[in-house]
Amino acid sequence: MNRFLTYSFFLLFFFVSCGTYRYPNASGIRESEPKELNNYYLDTTRTFVYRAKLHAFKKDINGNLVVQTLGRNEHRVALVSDFGQTLFDVSISPDGHELHYAMHDLNKRIVVREIVNIFRTMTEQRHATSAVMFANQQHYYPVYVIDNCYYVLKERKVERIQQAKGTKEHLTIVYREWNEEDVPTKIAVEHKKFPLTIDLMLDVDQSAL
Amino acid sequence: MKTKLLYFLMILLLPYGGWAQTREMSASERASFQKSLQQLAEIKTISADFVQYKHLSFMKKPVESSGKLYLKHPDKLSWSYTAPFQYKMVFKDHKIFIDDQGKKQTIDVGNSKQFEKINTLVSSSMRGGKYDEKEFVVSYLKQGNADMVRLTPKLAGAKKYIKEIVLLFSSDKQIEEVKLVEPSNDYTRFVIKNRKVNTTIDESIFNL
């Protein structure tokens, strides 16, 4: 009996820990034509300033998020509070990051890791070769898959990125509005593990050429 | 030869470049400056406009915002941004009242020493009071003809957030610029304009 319980426990543990996220209503994954996704932050001549509203762990922080494209998939992202204090300033590339500054209270490994993950996901251009299959194809928008990220397209633009970790959704980034140049003007970020949301609105006047 | 000529031209043109040198005040300059600051202690109210410039090392242009400030001695301060967004904060009765585009909240700072320090610093900076030499190394400087005070935090807690605070005074010894330098050397400049002293400030300014 004890042996049976031990085996059962290990089998349960094995299946739970090896479980993967399943996209809602998906019937499987198929190969797709190569597709470039998330082409929003490619122009190295532009710096974008977003009005940022953060709600993190029951605290509100308002400020500005600055996004500058340094090179192909290299971005410098800084968050500045309304009073002008730099909260963090980090260069992000697909393989790593360089932390230029983080305010003392935010300079913790796990915080920096999540900040980098959020803004890498938001700014990085990706190339997909797989897409989600749905039983009722007419009903759903195209959803491309790269690693653990699901890119939902609407009118040929990425409207939403859903990132999964294990069996659960970890992060959602929704591009709500765009300008004529297809630059996202309203973005909503929601962290699914921690109580963290970020609302961004493009400050057109300060987003310089 | 060309390089030498270039250096010569640079040296020749340097005085016209507007790079005002900063130097320590002499003992007499310092005494005179401190005396003139004492007169500002008579200030009961201040209202002014401000423009805030946030300089990040990698940006060509600073991020700009502007607003209005009202100070009523001894303990009321209203700080509101009007462009490019609306955001108002009122410091009074050991509380911070916030109006974020209609979304209101109150933070009770109670007997927070940190709050007291901020309040004292803002008040003494704007009213020309004495600077706390236990908290800061205070340097009295001249930048061109302008008077300047540099406050460098002494305590480890403050050093984590601020490298130095620089106050620039106008010829009539009014603060016209505050510069907060962060440990990363990024900095924020607050330029004070349209300053009015000892005018009546409607109490409703401090109500949120």
CA distance A111 to chain B (A): 18
pLDDT tens digits for range B110-155: 655 656 666 666 666 666 666 778 888 999 999 988 999 999 999 8
CA distance A101 to chain B (A): 6
Question: Rounded to whole angstroms, how far apart are CA atoms B180 and B167?
Answer: 9
Residue-wise burial string across A95-109, b where 16 or more C-beta atoms lie within 10 A, e elsewhere: eebeebbbbeeeeee
pTM of the model: 0.84
Question: Rounded to whole angstroms, how far apart are CA atoms B50 and B53?
Answer: 10
* Average pLDDT for runs of 10 along chain A of length 209: 51 51 88 93 94 90 94 94 92 96 91 96 96 78 93 93 94 96 96 95 85
B102 contacts chain A (CB < 8 A): no
Contact B87 A82 (CB under 8 A): yes
Q: Is the pLDDT of residue B9 over 50?
A: no
- The better pLDDT of the pair B132, B163 is held by B163
Q: What ipTM was estimated for this complex?
A: 0.81
Residue-wise burial string across A14-50, b where 16 or more C-beta atoms lie within 10 A, e elsewhere: eeeeeeebebeebeeeeeeeebebbebbeeeeebbbb
B87 contacts chain A (CB < 8 A): yes
Question: Rounded to whole angstroms, how far apart are CA atoms B74 and A47?
Answer: 42
The domain spans of chain B are 2-206
Contact A206 B64 (CB under 8 A): yes
Residue B115: its H or E element: helix B113-127
CA distance A155 to chain B (A): 31
User: Which of 3.30.465.10, 2.50.20.10, 3.40.630.40, 3.30.930.10 would CATH assign to domain B2-206?
Assistant: 2.50.20.10
End-to-end Cα spacing for chain A: 72
